Amino acid sequence: MKRLVALTGAGISAESGISTFRDSNGLWEGHDVMEVASPEGWHKNKELVLDFYNQRRKQALSSKPNDGHKTLANLENDFDITIITQNVDNLHEKAGSSHVLHLHGELFKSRSTADDSLVYDMEGWELNLGDKCEKGSQLRPHIVWFGEMVPMIEAAVEYVLQADIFVVVGTSMVVYPAAGLINYVRTEIPKFIIDPNIPDIQQQKNMYLYEEKAGTGMLRVAKLLREKYC
């Protein structure tokens, strides 16, 4: 069974109604992203940051996977799939994907501000001031904010190095270090790029571009993959 690695970004979740960072002239739901997605924003106004992510969770609870998510999940019947996502929502899991690596954290988890190793699954959508870890410190969203290290990037690189097929869906390929993962893909393997606005990346050998939304593009690519590699 061939190893397929998919890198997904905000574009795949946008079709399910999840807002992206780059909507509305760089504002996210009316906020400068640095107010709600940076350590500085957290220290300045914890209540604002907590409320912001509470609203994102509330929205995500009612969001459903689209054809892009579902198609990737269904491909597990024919390929050994790892999904590396820049998204913090759980739509890949909702669709049935069993191996999802979240580069930028997970919306439905919280983390201790005293000990990064203390990560908790959340029940419901609210995380408030006064909610503390077992060490007595305030809990924060388990999100990788701007200016913070991306702890899962090394694991992501290892999966990309082992890939037999590489698919990029719904990402602008401008946010690093995720955007750099394509540089670790072996030259000889096929690379499929799906986005209504094809990222400005250097054309490579065995690279195929699909200027389409995630849902329709993934359906086309999945059909081709099954015909050619199964």
Helix or strand or coil: residue 150?
coil
Q: Is 43 a known active-site residue?
A: no
Look up residue 181 and give its two tokens. Answer: 């993962």
- Residue from 211, 224, 104, 228 nearest 168 by CA: 211
Out of 69, 92, 102, 104, the active site residue is 104
| Interior/surface letters 146-171, b for 16+ CB within 10 angstroms, e for the rest | eeeebebbeebbebbeebbbbbbbbb
Classify 210 as helix, strand or coil: strand
Q: Please report where in the chains the tokens 């190793």 appear, as a residue.
A: 117
DSSP category for residue 122:
P
* Cα distances (Å, whole numbers) of residue 221 to 68, 158, 208: 10, 24, 10
85: closest CA among 214, 201, 205, 183? 214
Active-site amino acid positions: 104
